[in-house]
């Protein structure tokens, strides 16, 4: 038994000696600006020291995918050294962010989130949201924006983007909810504009579904907000149609006349349609 233990110690020492030699040779290659030779030398060594050095070299020559793969291997084989590897990823992430290399930065952030259960990079959630939003990957954008807003619910810019992402996904109810909460924090023009637009879209949606109670509620909210101005006459027109469907020709005419008043110096399509509706109202009333 003692001989077996002694043999294991000898093997371990031999392994350390080989690793030490590889690392020293790799350092020489790096000084000579020959990183590929250093990588080739270290690639067959699975010791923690070799993997850490190999990862550093990959990141140094801007090969983040290989660097991340090496760190994942390090964490798998030597979990006690994982945090040392993640520091390398964190440093490269900051460098990639500053240089505008968004894809590389995102891959680093995702790696940190996956491998470090204690990762505290809340600001990175917004970065991820913006990245996926710009790529028109709205489902992932929604996920990270919602996580970020749990950290900073007062970020109006992110609320606006989250609402637009929901709109792109066809989820008007959630878009509205995000903006309504944002209105409580900031009643600024941009929030009110988006809220008025989404309210109108919801009103139009419910109108098409025949849910006139909900349609009326949201259309009146658009009118109350007064934005976007280009949709106010459309909101009044739909309210007129709702009243008309209820056989309330008097109220319908009031709404249609508001459409004409808002387009006093125009005879566009909606004005002509409102005029025809008023004629119908008069016939019904008469």
Average pLDDT of the chain is 91
The contacts of residue 218 (CB under 8 Å, 6+ apart) are 199, 200, 202, 203, 206
CATH of the domain at 16: 1.25.40.10
Is the residue at 155 inside a domain?
A: no
Identify the pLDDT of residue 16: 53
Torsions phi, psi for 46 (to 5 deg)? -100, 15
- The total domain count for the chain is 1
The label of the residue with tokens 């600006």 reads: 33
Is the residue at 76 inside a domain?
A: yes
Q: How confident is the model at residue 15 (pLDDT cuts 50, 70, 90)?
A: very low
Beta carbons within 10 angstroms of residue 169's beta carbon: 14
Q: How confident is the model at residue 134 (pLDDT cuts 50, 70, 90)?
A: very high
Distance between CA 240 and CA 248 in Å, rounded?
9
Q: What tokens were used for 268?
A: 């566009």
Is the residue at 112 inside a domain?
A: yes
Q: How confident is the model at residue 10 (pLDDT cuts 50, 70, 90)?
A: very low
Is the residue at 222 inside a domain?
A: no
Q: What tokens were used for 278?
A: 């008023």
pLDDT at 12 over 70: no
pLDDT, tens digit (0-9, with 9 covering 90-100), for 206-262: 999 999 999 999 999 999 999 999 999 999 999 999 999 999 999 999 999 999 999
Is the residue at 171 inside a domain?
A: no
Instruction: Please give the residue that has the higher pLDDT: either 9 or 62.
Output: 62
Cβ atoms of residues 160 and 193 within 8 Å: no
**Which residue range is the domain that position 21 belongs to?**
8-116
Is the residue at 250 inside a domain?
A: no
Identify the pLDDT of residue 1: 52
Is the residue at 32 inside a domain?
A: yes
Angle (CA) 201-203-205 rounded to 5° is: 70
Three-class SS of residue 38?
helix
């Amino acid at each position: 038994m003692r001989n077996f233990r002694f043999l294991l110690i000898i093997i371990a020492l031999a392994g350390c000696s080989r690793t030490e030699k590889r690392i020293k040779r790799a350092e020489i290659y790096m000084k000579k600006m020959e990183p590929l030779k250093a990588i080739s030398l270290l690639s067959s060594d699975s010791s923690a020291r070799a993997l850490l050095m190999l990862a550093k070299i990959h990141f140094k020559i801007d090969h983040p995918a290989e660097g991340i793969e090496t760190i994942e291997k390090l964490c798998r084989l030597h979990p006690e050294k994982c945090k040392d590897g993640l520091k390398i990823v964190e440093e490269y992430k900051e460098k990639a962010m500053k240089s505008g290399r968004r894809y590389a930065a995102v891959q680093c952030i995702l790696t940190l989130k996956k491998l470090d259960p204690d990762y505290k990079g809340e600001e990175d959630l917004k970065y991820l949201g913006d990245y996926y939003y710009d790529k028109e990957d709205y489902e992932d954008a929604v996920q990270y924006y919602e996580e970020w807003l749990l950290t900073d619910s007062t970020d109006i810019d992110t609320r606006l983007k989250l609402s637009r992402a929901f709109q792109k996904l066809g989820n008007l109810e959630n878009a509205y909810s995000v903006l309504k909460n944002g209105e409580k924090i900031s009643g600024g023009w941009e929030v009110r504009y988006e809220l008025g637009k989404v309210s109108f879209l919801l009103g139009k949606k419910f109108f098409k579904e025949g849910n006139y109670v909900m349609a009326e509620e949201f259309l009146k909210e658009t009118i109350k907000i007064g934005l976007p101005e280009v949709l106010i006459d459309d909101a009044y027109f739909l309210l007129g149609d709702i009243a008309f469907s209820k056989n309330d020709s008097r109220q319908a005419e009031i709404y249609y006349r508001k459409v004409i008043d808002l387009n006093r110096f125009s005879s566009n399509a909606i004005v002509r349609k409102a005029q025809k509706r008023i004629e119908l109202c008069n016939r019904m009333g008469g």
